[in-house]
Structure 1
Amino acid sequence: MKNYKTKRITGKVIYHIFTFLFAFIMIYPLLWMVMGSFKDTTEIFKSAQKLLPSSFDFTNYKIGWQGFAGYTFAIFFKNSLIIAGLSTIGAVISSSIVAFGFARCNFKFKSLWFGCMLVAMMLPFQVIMIPQYILFNKMGWVGTYLPIIVPQFFGQGFFIFLNIQFIKGIPIDLDEAAYMDGCSIYKIFVQIILPLIKPALVTSAIFSFMWRWDDFLAALLYLSDPLKYPVSYALKMFADPTAGSDWGAMFAMATLSLLPIFFIFLTMQKYLVEGIASTGIKG
């Protein structure tokens, strides 16, 4: 009995040691960047193998926040919040409506449209990037936030599929009982379905905000005015191949750009885990 307990304890210790080491290896590049934000640019590469700085200096944060060409990073953070916030609202609302239609409504060619949605979900962005740019350019949207924000108001395949799985897990008897009480299909969606799929909605909101906040390619394609740059694109301005790049300031602003995502994951972790875990057992 003692040998069994000893082996069990030893196994747990070994497991936790390897888990900690693996987690440290995975998070080390992030820690290196955060610690690099407190180093001088010359120190970053002279002592690249050294994680901790010789002294914690906040100069990089002061220099980085000043931005470039008279535009501070307060402007870029505001732009990112506008893009990510509006895109998230549009994606969550539109995707839940479309998902309700697929899960609860019967209409012609339902299977065909559902298949088209799945195909669109699996297509990489690079496939539709050029046709989209040509379309938005003809519409006069290039140079504005419209090509980045407006498509989010027409449903996103992954979020639609996620919400469908949740709605299918809700007994249809609730809908029938609501019909008997005189509720319209709109009231059923707003008052019954939406509150019950809250984990899926929060999961969709987290992923949508994170993807739009980190989106560099869309800003590169459609935005040319520095006054409209989001944080993801503004960080690129610190890298200058023709002159010296201010890596310290770049690391400092990159560290600050992680704070909103970290805060969202910290506060919404319960709903995120519930949403992902429940999707696999419903439907």
Structure 2
Amino acid sequence: MTTKLETLPAPDKTPGAGKPTNRKPKVRESRGTLAFSRAQRSKALMKHAILIVAGGLMIYPLLWMVVSSLRPNELIFREPGLWLNSLEMGNYTDGWSALTHPFGHYMLNSAIVVLGSILGNLISCSMAAYAFARLQFTGKKLFFGIMLLTIMLPFHVIIVPQYILFSQIGWVNTFWPLIVPKLLATDAFFVFLMVQFIRGIPKELDEAARIDGAGHPRIFLRVILPLMVPALATTTIFTFIWTWNDFFGALIYLTDPDMFTVPVALRAFVDSQSATSWGSLFAMSIVSLLPVFLVFLFGQRFLIKGIATTGIK
């Protein structure tokens, strides 16, 4: 009996033979991806356009003030645009010497208050933050919660009792009412910011220092404080900007023109009973913005790092 052997057909060796073809789905997928990318691009362009318009609206008053400081006083409100037909640099020279003292005198007063406030916040807030973050004591959570509640307390609520207290001490018309409270860790925001930063530092570093015989003062000065540079820089920048721009506190406590800070000195340019020199006012406003701009320009790297590492959004 003979058996027949059936021979199988030889495999097709042409490229791509035997493989399923997905050409149509691929075309559909590529078309869908292209449509999705176009939608994303349109959405991104719309977002950028909105941001550009919003940014232009916010920066326009500043640009207008810069341009107005270079215009003659009588043309400032007649030509409200940003185009300059002539330059009037006399606004800067006149504004610098228009008040009782040169404008640099008031900038020096502001610098004294700012320096004292920065040192006070750095010293007191860092020590208070270390206590809340590392020490264990009775009522710790309660005191921390009370401290956070003071953030919601407006400054205007406590200004009257503070003024009475400082008046009885004899500190009115001095810089002490603006500086001394900073030495008592009264800025709860900075205490909270530093507490969050210290909690992110591994406690193993404290334990290693404690094994070497270090106590809390040495751990704070030698271990924690060097690692707090981003938080300290953030505190410095915010304190500088807020104190330099503080108008209400200086207006309440400083009534002697010799003690005026920059915001109160700028107010002296506005006279309700006579013609206001708007050109000089705008010129000195631009001069007063330069320190804030420079501090933010060179410190924004530390500011972003300090806020990012504390987990505050």
Q: TM-score range by the shorter chain?
A: over 0.9
User: Is 1:253 matched with 2:281?
Assistant: no
Aligned partner of 2:58 in structure 1 is 26
1:144 aligned partner: 174
Please say which of residues 2-11 and 116-125 is displaced more in the overlay: 2-11
Of the structure 1 ranges 97-106 and 272-281, higher mean CA displacement relative to structure 2 is found in: 272-281
Please, which of 62, 66, 72 is the counterpart of residue 40 of structure 1? 72
CA–CA distance in structure 2, aligned partners of residues 166 and 39 of structure 1: 48
How far apart, CA to CA, are the structure 2 residues paired with 1:14 and 1:120?
41
Q: Is the 8 A contact 2:178 2:249 kept in 1?
A: yes
Structure 2 matches for 1:183-222, cutoff 5 A?
183-222=214-253
Write the distance in 1 (CA, Å) between the matches of 2:113 and 2:312: 33
Give the one of 151, 158, 161 matched to 1:131. Answer: 161
- Which residue identity is paired with 2:53? L
C-alpha displacement of 1:133: 0.3
Compute the displacement of 1:5 (Å). 4.3
1:91 has 2:139 as partner: no
Could you tell me how far apart the structure 2 residues matched to 1:198 and 1:181 are? 24
Q: Secondary structure at the match of 2:131?
A: helix
Larger relative contact order (C-alpha < 8 A, sep ≥ 6)?
Answer: 1
Give the counterpart of 1:229 among 235, 260, 284: 260
CA distance in 2, matches of 1:68, 1:93: 36
Deviation at 1:271, TM superposition (A): 1.0
For residues 39 and 118 of structure 1, the distance between their equivalents in structure 2, rounded to whole angstroms, comes to: 48
In structure 1, the residue matched to 2:92 is: 61
Structure 1: distance between partners of 2:241 and 2:52: 26
Is 1:17 the counterpart of 2:61? The answer is: no
1:122 aligns with 2:152: yes
Q: 1:62 to 1:281 in 2, by over 3 A?
A: closer
CA separation of 1:144 and 1:165: change in aligned 2, threshold 3 A: same
Distance 1:195 1:52 in 2: 50
Q: Report the AA paired with residue 13 of structure 1.
A: L
- Match among 48, 67, 73 for residue 103 of structure 2: 73
Q: Report the Cα offset of residue 61 of structure 1.
A: 0.5
What is the distance in 2 between the residues matched to 1:160 and 1:172?
Answer: 19
- Alignment size in residue pairs: 280
Query: Deviation string for 1:13-55 (max 9, x for gaps)?
Result: 333222211111111111111111111122111122x123222
Segments of structure 2 that go 5 or more residues without pairing to the other structure are 1-29
RMSD (Å), alpha carbons: 1.6
Percent identical pairs in the alignment equals 45
| Bigger helix share | 1
Which has the larger Rg? Answer: 2
Give the Cα–Cα distance (whole angstroms) in 1 for the partners of residues 206 and 97 of structure 2.
55
Note the C-alpha offset of 1:7: 4.1
Shift of 1:278: 2.3
Secondary structure (helix, strand or coil) at the match of 2:275 reads coil
Task: Quote the Cα distance in structure 1 between the aligned partners of 2:310 and 2:83.
Answer: 41
Equivalent position SS for 1:46 = coil
TM-score (normalizing by structure 2): 0.85
The reply to whether residue 262 of structure 1 matches residue 293 of structure 2 is yes
CA distance in 2, matches of 1:121, 1:13: 39
CA–CA distance in structure 2, aligned partners of residues 146 and 253 of structure 1: 26
Could you tell me how far apart the structure 2 residues matched to 1:114 and 1:269 are?
29
Deviation at 1:106, TM superposition (A): 1.3
Q: Runs of 5+ in structure 1 lacking a partner?
A: none
Q: Is the 8 A contact 2:133 2:195 kept in 1?
A: yes
C-alpha distance in 2, partners of 1:79/1:9? 52
